[in-house]
Amino acid sequence: MLNHELDRLFQALADPTRRGLVERLTRGPASVSELAAPLPITLAAVVQHLQALEACGLVRTEKVGRVRTCRIEPAGLRAAEDWLRERRTAWERKLDRLADVLDEEE
């Protein structure tokens, strides 16, 4: 994944309303109006958040007739997760090698 794509992905996740939408969609697909109904913001604001989630690959939407249905796009979640896991495991391997060196010196 390119640097500017990761920028957009983490930027999209940095907002509590957008994380709430992601969380709701992991329980199943929903229409834009179903997503907006419980939220204390305007429909236009929800649409904007959904566009940000779609642009970075976390959500996929499809319009049939007058209803736009939104689904989670697990590849987006996985891309962000992979980036974090790779850095964490790199650090853990580094710590393990350090422990080995200390063992040898004993």
Residue of 39, 47, 52, 77 interacting with a second copy (CB under 8 A): 77
Residue of 55, 74, 99, 100 interacting with a second copy (CB under 8 A): 74
Q: How far is the CB of 92 from a second copy (least distance, A)?
A: 7
In terms of residues, how long is the chain?
A: 106
Q: Which amino acid is at 60?
A: R
| CB 82, CB 31: distance < 8 Å | no
Interaction of residue 60 with a second copy, rule CB under 8 A: no
Q: Which amino acid is at 106?
A: E
Q: Report the site for a second copy in 28-57 (rule: CB under 8 A).
A: 28
Interaction of residue 62 with a second copy, rule CB under 8 A: no
In angstroms, rounded to a whole number, what is the distance separating the alpha carbons of residues 11 and 50?
13
In angstroms, rounded to a whole number, what is the distance separating the alpha carbons of residues 68 and 74?
19
| CB 22, CB 59: distance < 8 Å | yes
Interaction of residue 65 with a second copy, rule CB under 8 A: no
Where along the sequence are the contacts to a second copy (CB under 8 A)? 3-4, 6-11, 13-16, 19, 22-23, 25-28, 72, 74, 77-78, 80-81, 83-85, 87-88, 90-92, 94
